[in-house]
Chains A and B, each alone.
Chain A
């Protein structure tokens, strides 16, 4: 097959259908930008969950040396071995408790590094600044209060946190947004596919003379269909590139600059550039293959070969 011939056919086709091509590009770009956005939002949620989120319900943080100086809850000094044993034993007696895990300062340091590895705050931390803790899984997650009342204010305990409770509201919001994004994405995807099918139909109709002659002189089915499929693929790829641009710009303005959430909410760990960049090939591949497949199936209906 002669590449130049095919390329010129594609160019002619795209220009002839300029408005349709534009509509395809915009709808593909929007649906894939939402697709990418939804993937990134899931990433963001996972990044924020940290090591213990899915494993425990309640954390009992114990006083360390620096807490003893600064935190009124720890006025009686850092936790002692006896206090720890006592707390552990009391936890074991509680019927609502399913499982207790002890996290040492070194382990806490390690998990913190895993989650916030590249932030400036993490770089300045040392293991003895971390807190020891008991991570507790409850038989019934709603029974958090039982543990809280039993240990809040006890000597050596800095705080009792219902970690899920803190994050669940935020995650609920993010999940809601994620589902909304997916719904709009699905809708835009349907629009994009219908536009592609229609573009192919119009295109096949306006070129029926050429394709009829191609058929008569024995051009292969693939040769006749290729320009239409590639037209759709090229328009889709442009849309995919626009979607990639959207995501990069969005990450830049929401997290780093403009809204600058990373400065305003510096306790939250945000997704890095690597999360964005790894989504781009997937989006480009989708933008290329999806319209090509749609065109292929549309041609089976509208172009006799």
Chain B
């Protein structure tokens, strides 16, 4: 699903690499936590998978494709098979919940019939059945993140990338979101989640990858958060 071979990333005008010689593999259907302090390279790691950046050395394979060899105009084809969820939800404030989810299908040219069928379905899945016509501003943070997850999942991606999805949420709401992500993972979708939330990592007991100053320092099956802030 994802393979990093000796990947390094140096941003222009910076001497210290954001990632140094990282090699790892994520199998289909895995649930992986990505931990590390701020500046450890977590975001860079995710940006490389999304092909927002290209690596400086090594190779990044996602869904069996060497991203260095994917031409710019084909990048959207890859992103269609990835779902993304962010700490700040990234919903469109002037569109309803249903329209926000439908947006992900409209822009890749799905038919209206298909959209009308799949939007209520995916909203049911995330526990927001019947809230299609509400505006994002009327919803709680947890509900907004569920909308974002619904949008990420509506095109049935093979890989879900989450960048601190619970970062803005209280612990109880976070547990709900984690249950939802776990459910999505059980449908066969691979989940990679960057997080600072110690409780969640310790409870879930999934594979943990730890980065420190750009180096891979721990890769542990059924791991725990492992370090104190």
Contact = CB atoms under 8 A, between A and B. Distances in A.
Interface of A: 1-2, 5, 209-210, 212-221, 223-224, 305
B155 interface: yes
Interface string B60-78: 0000000000001100111
B3 to A, nearest CB: 21
Nearest to A215: B79
B73 A213 contact: no
B84 A216 contact: yes
Given A1-B109, A2-B109, A217 B104 contact: yes
Interface size class of B (residues with CB under 8 A): 20 to 34
Nearest to A223: B107
Contacts of B79: 215-218
A77 B82 CA distance: 99
B103 interface: yes
Contacts, number: 51
A217 B103 contact: yes
B84 A220 contact: no
Interface in B104-131: 104, 106-109, 112
Contacts of B50: 216
A208 to B, nearest CB: 11
A213 B95 CA distance: 13
A210 B151 contact: no
B73 A210 contact: no
A207 to B, nearest CB: 10
Interface string B70-97: 0011001111111010000010100000
A1 B107 CA distance: 8
Interface of B: 50, 72-73, 76-82, 84, 90, 92, 103-104, 106-109, 112, 151, 155
A2 B78 CA distance: 21
Nearest to B84: A216
Given A216-B84, A220-B76, A209 B92 contact: yes
Nearest to A1: B109
Contacts of A224: 107
A8 B152 CA distance: 24
B90 A218 contact: no
Nearest to A2: B106
Contact of B73 (A209, A219, A221): A221
Contacts of A220: 73, 76
Contacts of B82: 218
A18 to B, nearest CB: 18
Contacts of B92: 209-210, 213
A209 B80 CA distance: 18
B73 to A, nearest CB: 6
A218 B108 CA distance: 7
Contact of B76 (A1, A5, A212, A218): A218
6 contacts: A5-B106, A213-B103, A217-B151, A218-B155, A219-B108, A221-B76
Nearest to B90: A213
Nearest to A12: B94
A212 B104 CA distance: 12
A44 B95 CA distance: 56
B90 A217 contact: no
A2 B226 CA distance: 49
